[in-house]
Chains A and B, each alone.
Chain A
Amino acid sequence: MKSKWWIIGLSIALLLAIISPIASKFPDGLDRFAEDYNFVDKASEPAFTVIPDYSFPGVDNETVATIIAGVLGTLILFGFVFGLASLLKSKHEA
């Protein structure tokens, strides 16, 4: 436990991604504001989509599609920021 605290931290993040299908489907504060004041249609369609709406494309089961998207995103961010931080860390410190 002492040296591998970050494995526990990453596991908690993955657990959150796995339970993410329970998230509220209500629009968030900004989306709700846009709907109530009729400017939601001003949002332009994205130029391209990869995993739109946190739902992995081609997976029929919505819950599974959300879990795959969430787990993928969590791992991408861990890898990307861990890598970025490794590059940036001070060279003087061991």
Chain B
Amino acid sequence: MHIPDGFISAPVAAATGVVAVAAIAVAVKVTNKNMGEKQVPMMGVLAAFIFAAQMLNFPVAGGTSGHFVGAALAAILLGPWATVLILSSVLVVQSLVFQDGGLLALGANITNMGVIAGFSSYYIYKGIDALFKHGKAGTLAGAGIGAWFSVVLASLACAAELSISGTSPWAIAITAMGGVHMLIGVGEGMITVAVLSLIMATRADLLKLQIA
């Protein structure tokens, strides 16, 4: 879902750039205040894991593939603000070093895959987890559903940016992007649940590192 340069207009790039910079500024403040020694290796491992997992495109339907985003996993493990920092770092390195996602489109990509995906999955996860009184099934259901929404909502934000930029008409962008990402989101949900299950089974204490 990495937008290259040329797909979005200058005003859309600037507006999403402002959103991204503001989100990163708050994220720096919040993590600076609330992050301890224990979260440091989790930050590094999640960034490394998300980068590597994003390379592994999986086929979905009709000659199309999707890839893990990882914002939901990061948000569940470390909270949404740490997620903004992790996904922003991944997206900056992908853009600068690997030419995946445009430099001018960085703000849009951070807004979609970091801010929108991170916050949406976090609150959906929290809601469902609380509804099931924080039992294992509720935690995993919340994670899977939150992860699915994170990808679908990020893709709809991407579709909106393309439409406002005049690249594609609204109805087509929303249907095409939303449709395929409803499938890709299932993969996101499965990977997120699988990783959380592994952590639950081996190191359940690592599920308690959220930075508010």
List A residues at the B interface (Cβ < 8 Å). 5-6, 9-10, 12-14, 16-17, 19-20, 22-30, 32-34, 36-37, 39, 42-44, 46-47, 49-54, 69-70, 73-82, 84-86, 88-90, 93-94
Contacts and interface: CB of A to CB of B under 8 A. Distances in A.
Contacts, number: 204
A81 B7 contact: no
Given A29-B180, A49-B99, A88-B32, A39 B167 contact: yes
13 contacts: A5-B206, A6-B42, A10-B45, A20-B55, A33-B173, A46-B5, A50-B99, A69-B98, A73-B97, A74-B48, A74-B51, A77-B48, A84-B43
Interface of B: 1-7, 28, 31-37, 39-53, 55-60, 63-67, 85-86, 89-90, 93-94, 96-100, 102-103, 155, 158, 167-168, 172-173, 176-177, 180-181, 184, 202-203, 206
A85 B99 contact: no
Contacts of B86: 81
Given A29-B66, A76-B93, A5 B51 contact: no
B61 to A, nearest CB: 10
Contact of B56 (A20, A76, A77, A79): A20
B99 to A, nearest CB: 4
Given A6-B42, A42-B167, A89-B36, A70 B55 contact: yes
Contacts of A17: 51-52, 55
Contacts of A52: 98-99
B109 to A, nearest CB: 10
Contacts of B63: 26-27, 32
B93 A80 contact: yes
A44 B7 CA distance: 8
A29 B167 contact: no
Nearest to A93: B36
A50 B49 contact: no
Nearest to A48: B99
A74 B51 CA distance: 6
A37 B66 CA distance: 18
A76 B7 contact: no
A16 B47 contact: no
A80 B47 contact: yes
A82 B96 contact: no
B37 A89 contact: yes
Given A13-B53, A33-B177, A76-B97, 8 more contacts: A10-B44, A16-B55, A51-B98, A52-B98, A54-B98, A85-B35, A88-B32, A88-B35
